Amino acid sequence: MHAPEGLPLAEALFPDGFSLYGEAVVGWDSVRYGGLQKHLQLSLAAEAFTWGRFDVDGRVAVQLFGRALEVAAKGLAVGLGQPGARYLGAAEVRWRFQGGGLYVLGTGGTLLFPEGEGALRPGAFASMGLGVDNAR
């Protein structure tokens, strides 16, 4: 897949064809069973194209210590089966305090920087933040 000369890669057209998409989200919550109050969630999405491309996006997260700490890992693979397939990964840690309404978040992983001629240069990122919400 290439963009016409002078256009961004995001405007590149897909070849004619069809795709099949599937997504599954599976979770386990031991609170319902009186366990150790762990919460585990796995999500996986995949799309297969008739012209040979395959994309996969997944995330696994676990909450521990009375759901005060959440640790997650996520990955993305785009263009499998094609030249120039791209892979990204990241990890995230979220610690809730003050009754769970406030949290500190740290995340880091890989990313791609666009360059001239539609090329992508690999890089990395790390970030921290403070947030507030009412959901767990």
**Cα–Cα distances in Å, from 44 out to 26, 82, 99, 102?**
9, 21, 31, 28
Q: What is residue 33's three-state secondary structure?
A: helix
Strand partners, 113: 121
- Flag whether pLDDT at 134 surpasses 90: no
In whole angstroms, what is the distance from residue 109 CA to residue 105 CA? 14
pLDDT tens, 9-37? Answer: 567 777 889 999 999 999 887 666 555 55
| Residue 13 exposed, middle or buried by CB count within 10 Å (0-12, 13-18, 19+) | exposed
Question: Any idea of the CA torsion for 111, 116, 119, 121, to the nearest 10 degrees?
Answer: -30
pTM value is: 0.78
Give the count of beta carbons closer than 10 Å to the beta carbon of residue 55: 19
* Residue indicated by tokens 């897909």: 14
pLDDT digits (tens, 9 = 90+) for 76-110: 999 998 888 899 999 999 999 887 789 999 999 99
Residue 64 or 110, more confident: 110
